[in-house]
Amino acid sequence: MKDISESQARLHGIFNITVTPFTANGEFDFAGLARNVERVIELGYDGILIGGTYGEFPTMTTEERAVLFRKVMAVVGNRVPVMLCSAGSDTRVVSELTSLAGELGGLPMVTPPFVSEVTNAQIVSFFKKMAPLSRTGILVYNAPGIGITLPPAVLEELADIEGVVGIKQGDLNPTAIDQIANRLGGRLRLFCASDLAFLGPMMCGFDGISTTNSGALPELILATYRALENGDANTARELHQLWYPYRALARRHGQPQVVKAAMNLRGFDGHHVRSPLTDLQGDVVEEIKTELLRLAADSRSGVTLK
């Protein structure tokens, strides 16, 4: 993407949150990452998200994140839009990665700086400094998992900042979703940050979703999203219900651990998580395998096992 206008035009649909495959020694497997990216593009995903929280960016150095950005953009080119997570608690790091992401033609995804006792006014000031650094604009990620939840009133302030092209909303409280959809819809792009419960936000008028579990179940989650997009809410609901047992495992054992274990079972390049996370083992992997076998037995899922 070359500028903010193109970012706004292309920022919609279903984006795969691509996990970062690490070797047992914690090194990047860029060949495996490229295969994972190609898989979802070939299936018809509208975009990808690289180096996010489930891409394990907090375990990476700034230099590693920059290499990751460059490697992925060399693979993708301009075929689909790419969100590149430039989040961090050090403003210098966020500034550097936000500028780089825009230069490469990606869309920087920025969270509030996760430092203790940061005020709403300081958060707004921070985003005002970040937005002009990227020629493609920035995507604000409202990520409760970092310990900061931006209320709708603050998101409205951020929506007025020139260069903010969208919000990825991780707070799925129905009241917040309703307020955001109706106050900000049409002003900028709205993304649901979770595939665990995305039907509601999409029905409220959100523009798209980002999905981690599509690394493991790319066919099923894509089919669910497309059904909803095409106005077939009944099919979307049935397909979403189909993989609830998998979602229960993901909630219990963590993401991206479950995603990577399921990808490995399917013959995809999930590989390993990086410390301090630990790979799932033994009975838990067997639980995931049992669930994949159940899904594979249902023709609606599109899931196959090697």
Dihedral of alpha carbons 113, 119, 122, 128, sign: positive
- The whole-angstrom separation of Cα 263 and Cα 157 is 40
Helix/strand/coil for 73: helix
Give Cα separations from 47 to 105, 124, 300, 305 (angstroms): 13, 27, 24, 25
Give Cα separations from 42 to 54, 127, 225 (angstroms): 22, 34, 16
- The whole-angstrom separation of Cα 136 and Cα 215 is 26
- The whole-angstrom separation of Cα 239 and Cα 223 is 8
Q: What would the two tokens of residue 306 be?
A: 């090697």
User: What letter does residue 46 receive in the DSSP assignment?
Assistant: S
Question: Of 161, 119, 249, 61, whose CA–CA distance to 259 is shortest?
Answer: 249
Strands (E), 63-176: 82-85, 107-110, 138-142, 164-169
pTM higher than the cut 0.85: yes
DSSP 261-289: HHHHHTTSS--B--TTS----HHHHHHHH
Identity (one letter) of the amino acid at 255?
A: Q
**pLDDT beneath 50, residues of the chain:** none
Give Cα separations from 260 to 56, 125, 217, 296 (angstroms): 12, 37, 11, 18
- The whole-angstrom separation of Cα 128 and Cα 146 is 20
Q: What is the pLDDT of residue 116?
A: 86
Helix/strand/coil for 130: helix
- The whole-angstrom separation of Cα 293 and Cα 299 is 11
Q: What is the pLDDT of residue 114?
A: 87
Question: 102 CB contacts (<8 Å, ≥6 apart)?
Answer: 108, 133, 134, 135, 136, 137
- The whole-angstrom separation of Cα 289 and Cα 256 is 16
Domain map (residue ranges) of the chain: 4-240
Judge whether 180 and 201 are in contact, CB under 8 Å: no
Q: What is the pLDDT of residue 147?
A: 85
Residue 170 bridge partners (DSSP)? none
Q: Which CATH class is domain 4-240?
A: alpha beta
